[in-house]
Amino acid sequence: MRKTKGVSFSFFLCRKKRNAGQKSEYINNGGICTKLFELSVYGIRPPSVETRKRGRRRLYVTIGEMFSQTVRKFPDREAVVEVATGRRYTYAEWEREVNRWANAFQEAGVRKGDRVSTVLYNTLELATALFACAKIGAVFNPINFRLKAEEIAYILTDAEPKIVLFERAVERELAAIHDRFPHIAFWSIDRDPPPFAKSAHEQAERAREEAPSVRVEEGDLYAIMYTSGTTGRPKGVMHRHRDMIEQSVLCHGVMRIRETDRGLAAAPLFHCAELHCCLLPRVHAGAASVILHHFDARLVLETIERERITVLFGAPTMWNMILQENVSDYDLSSLRLGLYGAAPMAPALVRQCQERLGIGLVQAYGMTEMGPAVTFLLEDEQLKKPGSAGRACLNHEIRVVRAREDGPSDPDEVLPPYEVGEIVMRGPCMMAGYYKREEATEKALYKGWYHSGDLGYLDEDGYLYVADRVDDMVISGGENVYPREVEDVLYEHPKVLDAAVLGEPDELWGEKVVAFVVKKDISLTADELEQFCKTSDRLAPYKRPRAYYFVDALPRNASGKIQKFLLREQLKKQATGGTEKK
């Protein structure tokens, strides 16, 4: 190993396997088939060869080991701040808390491979539970706090956790179902738990603060994350420790996270975008995480000013809501980078963020099954490639292939640039599979590629453009209409806050294009939108909406994606307020 100016580089080469009579293939040891490096200056230690098990080299640290490495490097640096309670921990203080929770879990009977679920808003306890589970090999299972009782019951039945952590805000939902799960221990993070639960803090305070002794391997399951679902019942996505170490390194590099950064967790931490693209890379680098209980645009701005936040992730809807505030009233000079994802951002909104907030923007495209990020559109590419989701990130591969209706698309039926097809991908962050769903796993990972169900195309430079979901494409009079291109035009109207386009059954055309619109200005009318679309040079006549439905808000899942299946149900019930535009 050669050291230069405090930065050490370790190089590993892929092994080539030769089989008699067969083409050579490269074994990439978990997905990386490139130079792997250690940047000690950033506090990052990706794949390392430390131990051997059954004759196989170990290339990755686990998430628990990554946390402990950061503690050793930056024990006195501020690690985490909870805005709601004012609690602040250095990395050394936080590790003692993590160890207590890990030992408390063990004393309650949690063993390696057992699940620990959380139904929590953004709290210090959620982040602490994640690393506590990682240290003892338990499987972390964060559940959407917005779910209703029966939806939570479905996940608990499927995941079969030993412990469920929750807070007062979701107490009513759990009170309605707790008696169905006598084998589960319910722990409340509040000091006055309900009768059916124990106090999580009392359990932790009685536990030892020494590090637990459990052997956890890179290939062990780290988490089961249930898809937020745009089409139906959620599925449990299984991720291993090495998957998310890889994801952390990718995101760290793209966002240039340093130990001096301060990131604000305003998007839900139970979702992989905030958790894996933001929290884990910050901990990996020794940076600070400021936790906001839930998103509130004004509180976000106040916290950026007070805590000198440098990095913020938000779905496009969140950025839009921030821009509705008088941002000039706040000192946002510390903010250097905004990450967005979960849904496309209209070019008009990108320009507003850059001009009014004065920050660089990075877009990430992906899904829970991939960690989530598989592409990035960097700061200097936002205006050069408007509408693009970016290029495949390091060690990932993306193809656009001919979509099939009778089964999974064939990853080898690759389409030429600009031709729309299904987006398939593979890389080292890809899920191990769906929990207890072998058939769904085989279909999703057909031929070793994850089949996203998204439609899109690649340009000649390898930039990906996401057109829509396979299920969302509108076929009107035999013509394909991709809702996103219509939505982007609607977003250009100054009186439109939010929009969703889909197809409504029509006897003459098969389907007609309709739009659900949230007004920014109450004076907006359907006639106004019709004229706006007519005069647009980006929308052919057959793509224009034939009806506009004005609503107070659009249904979105935890990641910010519009749940169009709920809008279709609304159409079936003959939603009122629709104005026909022939």
DSSP string, 32-44: --S----BGGGTB
Smallest CA-to-CA distance from 135 within 96, 82, 188, 77 is with: 96
How does the average pLDDT of the chain come out, rounded? Answer: 87
pLDDT in tens, 370-386: 999 999 999 999 888 98
User: Does 45 or 510 have the greater pLDDT score?
Assistant: 510
User: Does 308 or 3 have the greater pLDDT score?
Assistant: 308
Least confident span in 159-168, 276-285, 345-354, 516-525: 345-354
pLDDT confidence of residue 5: 39
Percent of the chain with pLDDT over 90: 69
Q: For residue 229, is pLDDT > 70?
A: no
Q: How confident is the model at residue 33 (pLDDT cuts 50, 70, 90)?
A: very low
Q: For residue 12, is pLDDT > 80?
A: no
Could you give the domains of the chain?
A: 2-62 (no CATH), 473-580 (3.30.300.30)
Q: How confident is the model at residue 539 (pLDDT cuts 50, 70, 90)?
A: confident
pLDDT confidence of residue 46: 41
Q: How confident is the model at residue 356 (pLDDT cuts 50, 70, 90)?
A: very high
- How far lies 436's CA from each of 141, 271, 433, 569, 572, in Å? 15, 21, 9, 29, 33
Three-state secondary-structure class, residue 136: helix
Find the radius of gyration of the CA atoms of the chain: 24
Q: Which residues contact 492 (CB under 8 A, 6 or more apart)?
A: 346, 348, 532, 536
User: Does 100 or 44 have the greater pLDDT score?
Assistant: 100
Smallest CA-to-CA distance from 227 within 219, 218, 216, 238 is with: 238
Instruction: Report the predicted TM-score, pTM, of the whole model to 2 decimal places.
Output: 0.79
Q: How far is CA 492 from the centre of its chain?
A: 26
Least confident span in 372-386, 414-428, 463-477: 463-477
Quick check: 338 and 359 in contact, CB under 8 A?
Answer: yes
pLDDT confidence of residue 346: 75
Could you tell me the two tokens for 297? 């645009």
* Euclidean distance between CA atoms 129 and 126, whole angstroms: 5
Q: For residue 183, is pLDDT > 80?
A: yes
Percent of the chain with pLDDT over 70: 86
pLDDT in tens, 113-162: 999 999 999 999 999 999 999 999 999 999 999 888 988 999 999 999 99
User: Does 507 or 448 have the greater pLDDT score?
Assistant: 448
